[in-house]
Amino acid sequence: MTLDYDLMIDSLPLYINAAGYTLYLAFCGITLSILIGLICAFILYYKTPYIGWFIRSYIELSRNTPLLIQLFFLHFGLKLEAETCAFVGLAFLGGSYMAEAFRGGLEAVEKAQLESASALGLNRFQTALYVIVPQALIVSVPSIGANMIFLVKETSVVSIIAIGDILAAAKDVISIHYATAEALIMLVAAYLALLLPISIAVHFAEKKVKFGVFGR
């Protein structure tokens, strides 16, 4: 098989622009997912009545339906704009996974820590901020990192609603130049360029946690 390297070089700006937009989508989706996950995890942790049932229902619905179906519902059912669908879809899916990651971290905090905080006169908010959250985040680092990588990869699904991500760039190269091999090779390279730094950062954070020096 002979590759058209000139075409790959000429297509590079298209992939770079698409990669930038993919990072933008992923960053917004991950940020919203973390916020949603934290809120949901604390509601479940404190066993808030009624709302807790709603949160558990949301988590089960989100985790057991494909992102593609969620995007179709948002875009064609609710008539939301494509970019809005991408943000909402990624946040809706990622929030449920982040909630489970944070919940695991919260439940790992020993009850003795809470009793000590109460003995020191800390209220519920201060206990959560200074005692629970720091320890829970340390425990949750591996799961949070895995979810971040998962959400970056899930951005490839949003091309189905005409979002100009990396997969959409590859589709354009294939449809215009009929260069399937070149387009797919560059697609794989682009995702590696995006995901390898995140994987390395997550691995570094996990090592910090393992040796007890996280955040120092």
Q: Other C-beta atoms within 10 Å of 90: how many? A: 27
Q: What pLDDT is recorded for position 196?
A: 93
pTM: 0.86
* Residue ranges of domains in the chain: 8-210
Beta carbons of 156 and 166 less than 8 angstroms apart? yes
What pLDDT shows up at residue 211?
Answer: 66
Burial 148-159 (b: 16+ CB within 10 A, else e): bbebbebbbbbb
Q: What is the pLDDT of residue 75?
A: 92
All residue ranges of the chain with pLDDT < 50 are 213-216
Per-residue pLDDT at 115 = 84
Question: In the prediction, which pLDDT does 215 show?
Answer: 46
Instruction: Kindly state which CATH superfamily the domain 8-210 is placed in.
Output: MetI-like (1.10.3720.10)
